[in-house]
Amino acid sequence: MAVKAQVLYDFTAEPGNNELSVQEGEMLTVMNQAVGGGWVEAQNSKGQTGLVPEDYIQQINNSEASGTQQPAQAYQGSIDYYDDDGEWDEESDDSKSPSGYSWSQSDGGGGAAQQGAAAHHPRKISLNKFPGLSKTPNPEVYLLKNYMCAENDRLPIYMGEVGPVWLYPQTQLDCVVAHPKKGTKMYGLKSYIEYQIAPNTTHKSVNHRYKHFDWLYERLLEKFGCAIPIPSLPDKQVTGRFEDEFIKMRMERLQGWMSRMCRHPVVSNSEVFQLFLTYKDEKDWKEGKRKAEKDERVGVMVFSTMDPEMRELDPTEVEKKCETFSHFSRSMDDGVKDLLAVGHLHWKRCAGPLQKEYQRIGKAFQSLSSVFNTSAYQGEATLTDALTATGKTYEEIAEIVAGQPKKDLHFLLETNNEYKGLLGCFPDLIGVHRAAIEKVKEADRLVAMNKIGPQDKQTMQKNLSTMSYALQAEMNHFHSNRIYDYNRVMQLYLQEQVQFYETIAGKLKHALSQYTTL
């Protein structure tokens, strides 16, 4: 009956969750392998029992253990994601796909260090960003037709001060993601987190689990992915799912993702997004989901709903604009990645060697003070007290230095991570446009071959012009948000940096005041 197992990775149990904390190398007795959902029930050497992720242990072919013996290799190398919410995929309409842009903890700046065991855990990351589309979506199906949009489906593009722009709503939609609440399944054996989302348009909040966000992401990507960058959701996370720190981090990132979607005039106004934010009841939600999944104006066909009320652009002009955006987004991608790399390094330095160094400086002053205290010389006290205080101040500075990145660098890195995600979508956007430009270039040949008529070529050019206006509107949206975001985050960063240096200066001033004035 009892099968022995060795723990491969540290795992910290959530209190009240029937889980068992285990440490790497520890030996366990597996009590029940049929718990399901990637969990086994196990007992440690102290006799404590609880649930442990089955990927975290390796069963041992132990001749002393009676009963069924599991071959050890059956568990080796099988470490993998288990279902995100730790539950069975009982809802068959929940299609899942790994996120394309890996918004991993380490990208988020130092988070990896906080999530010890997670760092040991290998991940499967798929790079396929368009589950419903081929590598570069073929714009042909869109280009050859003439479209007349129903008014409620129509996405107008206007000429604004900065060039083509989307139609912006009078009041910008926003929402608050808050109050993460633990729900349970499996008769209380397993739990998940439900977030409350409160839009500023209604007075009613809705509840969603991560898997619902994921469903929304899939729908938005499918529908708008050719015209609008839809950044991935924050990365899935196995270990410490219920640790406060992790919940806070995921919520913060879901908030960031939702705010960005709310800020987008096209996305925020879409039926599927509105459904997510304002569904009335379970029935409403289920019906809305089914409808959204049947939407046919997805992929390149999204352009068929777009209606720029401007002169038609020449294909040469289109190509030029496309190249300008391509160049900008690649350069910004490099710049953002550089800043992220520099920032991560600085974070590591602050929380690692620099913290240790200030601690050592603090300790060196304190040990000198201790030695001085043994001098048996009178009139020693003022100096040794001041030296001790100085040492303690440097120890405090060590903690301030180590904690500072969370206060400022964190937001700078988060913002740049968001932009890395957005910029990662641009090659696909640009790719669709380039493919369309090529198609229109081929049009003359196709006309000569009688494959299409001269009218068709004009239609293609008109549609290409629409695509270009959409890209311009999107770039202008991107630029205006970028200026706002970087302005905001740089101010936040600098404000915190100023406070950081002023705090340290203040502490050192206080330490200084304790010496005898000469």
Residues of each annotated binding site: 209, 211, 250
Which of 420, 478, 473, 475 is CA-nearest to residue 231? 420
Q: Name the helix (H) or strand (E) containing 398.
A: helix 381-407
Both structure tokens of 480? 């205006």
Q: How far is the CB of 377 from a copy of itself (least distance, A)?
A: 4
Both structure tokens of 483? 């200026």
Nearer to a copy of itself, 188 or 353 (CB): 353
3-state secondary structure 144-193: CCCCCCCCCCCEEEEEECCEEEECCCCCCCCEEEEEEEEEEEHHHCEEEE
Nearer to a copy of itself, 277 or 398 (CB): 398
CB 224 within 8 A of CB 157: no
> Rounded to whole angstroms, how far apart are CA atoms 431 and 267?
21
Nearer to a copy of itself, 346 or 406 (CB): 346
Nearer to a copy of itself, 4 or 263 (CB): 263
194 SS3 class:
strand
Which of 226, 249, 252 is CA-nearest to residue 239? 249
- Could you tell me whether strands 39-43 and 27-36 are parallel, antiparallel, or unpaired per DSSP bridges? antiparallel
Nearer to a copy of itself, 119 or 345 (CB): 345
CB 197 within 8 A of CB 175: yes
Instruction: Determine how many CB atoms are found less than 10 A away from the CB of residue 122.
Output: 9
By the criterion CB under 8 A, which residues form the site for a copy of itself? 161-162, 324, 327-328, 331-332, 334-336, 338-339, 342-343, 345-346, 349, 353-354, 357, 360-361, 364-365, 367-368, 370-372, 374-380, 382-383, 386-387, 390, 475-476, 479-480, 482-483, 486-488, 490-491, 494-495, 497-498, 501-502, 504-505, 508-509, 511-512, 515-516, 518
Angle at which helix 409-448 crosses helix 315-349, to 10 degrees, equals 160
Nearer to a copy of itself, 267 or 475 (CB): 475
Sheet holding 190-199, edge to edge: 175-185, 190-199, 206-209
Q: How far is the CB of 155 from a copy of itself (least distance, A)?
A: 21
Q: How far is the CB of 348 from a copy of itself (least distance, A)?
A: 10
Q: How far is the CB of 350 from a copy of itself (least distance, A)?
A: 10
- Could you tell me whether strands 3-7 and 57-59 are parallel, antiparallel, or unpaired per DSSP bridges? antiparallel
Instruction: Classify residue 100 by its DSSP letter.
Output: S
Q: How far is the CB of 306 from a copy of itself (least distance, A)?
A: 21
Nearer to a copy of itself, 49 or 503 (CB): 503
Instruction: Classify residue 407 by its DSSP letter.
Output: H
Angle at 113 between CA 486 and CA 88, to 5 degrees: 95
Q: How far is the CB of 311 from a copy of itself (least distance, A)?
A: 20
Nearer to a copy of itself, 158 or 515 (CB): 515
510 SS3 class:
helix
Q: How far is the CB of 334 from a copy of itself (least distance, A)?
A: 8
> Rounded to whole angstroms, how far apart are CA atoms 474 and 34?
51
Instruction: Classify residue 244 by its DSSP letter.
Output: H
Q: How far is the CB of 329 from a copy of itself (least distance, A)?
A: 10
84 SS3 class:
coil
3-state secondary structure 338-394: HHHHHHHHHHHHHHHHHHHHHHHHHHHHHHHHHHHHCCCCCCCHHHHHHHHHHHHHH
Nearer to a copy of itself, 64 or 161 (CB): 161
Nearer to a copy of itself, 182 or 346 (CB): 346
29 SS3 class:
strand
Q: How far is the CB of 15 from a copy of itself (least distance, A)?
A: 40
Q: How far is the CB of 498 from a copy of itself (least distance, A)?
A: 5
CB 470 within 8 A of CB 306: yes
